[in-house]
Structure 1
Amino acid sequence: MKPWLDEEEARAAAEVVTSGWLAQGPRVAEFESAFAARVGAAHGVAVSSCTTALHLALHLLGVGPGDEVVVPSFSFVATSNCAVYVGATPVFADVEPYDGNLSVRTVEPVLTERTRAVVVVDQGGMPADVEPLRRLCDSRGIALVEDAACAAGSQYHGDPVGAGALLATWSFHPRKLLTTGEGGMLTTSDGELAERARRLREHGMNISAAARHQSRQPVLESYLEVGFNFRMTDIQAAVGLVQLRKLDAMVERRRQLAGSYQAMLGDVPGLRTVEDSPWGRSNFQSFWVELDPGFPLSRNQLLTVLAEAGVSGRAGIMAAHRQPAYAGVAHRELPVTERLTDNTLILPLFHTMSDAEQRTVVGVVRRCAGLRAA
């Protein structure tokens, strides 16, 4: 992945630097409104990362010690960590083989009387089928949090991923389409949750620093509850506003490249490319392929050959339950998670990728399969 950054972002950041207002301020407020509108959310709360957004979401829901939070193991470890941060127990559920996401089929067996929340991930930008999960959770009084870290620009049944969600979280890390360097966003359909989230990200203060400094009268702030320092800077938000204007072009180009990968690798025996689901349209934040025994090399062997050819591939999504940090957490068998973790890899995909660069990647894969270049 290479972020698509140029002089426009540099100028936007420089304008903030010369303005004298660097911390959370007017650019953050503008970015919150623009991003929320883009993803069909009523409210946006900018924060320092998607991890802090996830932490904040569970904190807002009152999840704590003694509670369980269902999460996919097939995800970056931050998804599981957010449950631990609030003192709850992460409960690992398996995922579906075609998109690597949770479903009612995989979640329902692990629900208990202690389940307070389910965190569903749009893995690699592939939209999860959230409506059946919402119905399941609503029927049991369980909150559904949507970890849309990778999904800015993806669609679910024709609407933006996260549209209308009670709580959805987003990442602006450089590996994502839309980047602010570091940074994240919490979006919500609930105005009271948004108002409290804004307080909590700023130490629980009853008035924002921006409002305090803009007041013509002395302001003696108070701290209504123990909060956090989860703020985004105006420099990051200024970059994010430029990036947001590029999002549609980013998605279009990535989908073109994904379509080319699918066409040029579709006849490779023992290799499956990720595809759109019937209910969604992916931004292809990651383009992953799965190898089965019909492919001549193992996943790790293919990664080695790619690296020797100057191609930066990446092992597929991790299985959090295998990490040392979660060695003591009991879980059911997770056969699909383990299969995908062991046998998938992510191929290069970025906005400025040339057709020649893509043909180089495809050529290496096809040679490893004993085939001619596409």
Structure 2
Amino acid sequence: MEKTLAINGGKPVRDRYLPYGQQWIDEKDIQAVVDALRSDYLTTGPKIREFEEKIAAYVGGKYAVAVSNGTTALHAACFAAGIQQGDEVITTPMTFAASANCVLYQGGIPVFADIDPYTYNIDPKDIERKITNRTKAIIPVDFTGQPVDHDAIKEIAEAYGLVVIEDAAHALGAEYKGRKIGSLAAMTEFSFHPVKHITTGEGGVIVTDNKDYYEKLSLFRTHGITRDPALMTKNEGPWYYEQLELGNNYRITDIQCALGISQLQELAGFVKRRREIVRKYNEAFQNIEEIITPYEKEGCHSSWHLYIIQLDLERLSVGRREIFEALKAENIGVNVHYIPVHYHPYYQRLGYKRGICPHAEALYERIITLPLFPKMSDKDAEDVIDAVHKVISYFRK
């Protein structure tokens, strides 16, 4: 292998750029979308209900409400949970901003609890420390696909009367103590963005066993409007409908759900392939002292949306940025997940300060996301491994 780094003029490990994530669309998926385009329904039709039923059945939930994306799913869940002006909701800073933004949309106040330094998931002990008489809910995030500590979080929620809205955007196909993620929290959100486990282009869903939440979620995604006689105050005729709440147009389409139904058939294979690539990475990196590989907690079976390495910077002659740029020059599509939410200028203007979550903040300085998606070949994975070895060896002290 060429020892001179590509960033210094050497030959890259790969000729073509490998992204960190990518959808896998086959001819069956394309035909499903074509069939939907040729049907009577493009927007709200039977494919939505079919997709919802299949998602609910897969995760072991009673109800599912599909919406336009993962962010709108979280917003709808906060509405259904009754989050209002001034209510506090505890979540993690080590996530995409939507996990906290959804609280702001309802006039609530996100409160950030620190992470467990081993799993990178929210620390239940810090959740309990952050609870006040204004706390109404917890939004734990299954970071990278690893389930949160459901037993501890459930115990806290029951003790303080809090609603748990699980942000499982990374965790479709994951399991906690033998149970599928999606069957454990009051409401669970999944995302179907193209880099996730299955895709509908854009899309999201909330799964719940609670009928009241289900009805509120269904209402919220359609402007708060209903034609259900059981919900309306009166009925003036077959044309009649009523707006009962201030909802939104958060509807998903039949076209998208047709794709989702087709993709769902491949989910088991997609998750299996992700786990195979992770095993390759773990084996290849286990003896590199400058890298800390992801930790999977006993009883948790991650679905591995992301593969994140942590750099032992004390053993390297440069910082994270130099390692990142060197890997990218080798045509490896690295990324960083995530910038702590409270670091963003918008949150800084709201009064959030650095220093409130020291474990999350320390982790952010050291992490790099490597490519991981089921369409990757063994050669793709080997290229990533070679590039990491090449770059780390060069910058080793």
For the pair 1:109 / 2:123, whether they are aligned, the reply is no
Alpha-carbon RMSD across the aligned residues, in angstroms, is 1.4
Does the 8 Å CA contact 1:180/1:239 hold for their aligned counterparts?
A: yes
Using the TM superposition, give the Cα deviation of residue 262 of structure 1 relative to its aligned residue in structure 2, in angstroms: 0.1
One-letter code aligned to 1:45: V
For the pair 1:98 / 2:118, whether they are aligned, the reply is yes
Using the TM superposition, give the Cα deviation of residue 9 of structure 1 relative to its aligned residue in structure 2, in angstroms: 1.1
Does the 8 Å CA contact 2:327/2:391 hold for their aligned counterparts?
A: no
Normalising to structure 1: TM-score of the pair? 0.94
State the match for 1:330 in structure 2: 352
Does the 8 Å CA contact 1:269/1:295 hold for their aligned counterparts?
A: no
Using the TM superposition, give the Cα deviation of residue 121 of structure 1 relative to its aligned residue in structure 2, in angstroms: 0.2
Once residues 304 and 103 of structure 2 are traced to their aligned partners in structure 1, the CA distance between those partners, rounded to angstroms, is: 27
Once residues 317 and 279 of structure 2 are traced to their aligned partners in structure 1, the CA distance between those partners, rounded to angstroms, is: 24
State the match for 1:247 in structure 2: 267
For the pair 1:135 / 2:135, whether they are aligned, the reply is no
SS, match of residue 165 in structure 1? coil
For the pair 1:40 / 2:60, whether they are aligned, the reply is yes
Matches within 5 A, 1:158-177: 158-177=178-197
Q: Deviations over 1:10-33 (max 9, x none)?
A: 111111111131012100000000
Once residues 88 and 246 of structure 2 are traced to their aligned partners in structure 1, the CA distance between those partners, rounded to angstroms, is: 23
For the pair 1:152 / 2:197, whether they are aligned, the reply is no
One-letter code aligned to 2:35: E
Q: How many percent of aligned residue pairs carry the same amino acid?
A: 34
Does the 8 Å CA contact 1:126/1:151 hold for their aligned counterparts?
A: yes
State the match for 1:190 in structure 2: 210
Once residues 255 and 207 of structure 1 are traced to their aligned partners in structure 2, the CA distance between those partners, rounded to angstroms, is: 45
Once residues 141 and 227 of structure 2 are traced to their aligned partners in structure 1, the CA distance between those partners, rounded to angstroms, is: 33
Once residues 294 and 278 of structure 1 are traced to their aligned partners in structure 2, the CA distance between those partners, rounded to angstroms, is: 29
For the pair 1:263 / 2:286, whether they are aligned, the reply is no
Using the TM superposition, give the Cα deviation of residue 296 of structure 1 relative to its aligned residue in structure 2, in angstroms: 4.1
State the match for 1:313 in structure 2: 334
Does the 8 Å CA contact 1:96/1:106 hold for their aligned counterparts?
A: no
Once residues 295 and 141 of structure 1 are traced to their aligned partners in structure 2, the CA distance between those partners, rounded to angstroms, is: 47
Using the TM superposition, give the Cα deviation of residue 368 of structure 1 relative to its aligned residue in structure 2, in angstroms: 2.3
Once residues 158 and 272 of structure 2 are traced to their aligned partners in structure 1, the CA distance between those partners, rounded to angstroms, is: 35
State the match for 1:360 in structure 2: 383
One-letter code aligned to 1:83: V
For the pair 1:122 / 2:142, whether they are aligned, the reply is yes
State the match for 1:346 in structure 2: 369
Once residues 295 and 129 of structure 1 are traced to their aligned partners in structure 2, the CA distance between those partners, rounded to angstroms, is: 33
State the match for 1:213 in structure 2: none
One-letter code aligned to 1:177: H
- Structure 1: unaligned runs, 5 residues or longer: 209-216
- Structure 2: unaligned runs, 5 residues or longer: 1-20, 229-236
One-letter code aligned to 1:95: I
One-letter code aligned to 2:63: H
Normalising to structure 2: TM-score of the pair? 0.89
Matches within 5 A, 1:229-240: 229-240=249-260
Q: Deviations over 1:318-366 (max 9, x none)?
A: 2001000100333662111111111101100111211111111111211
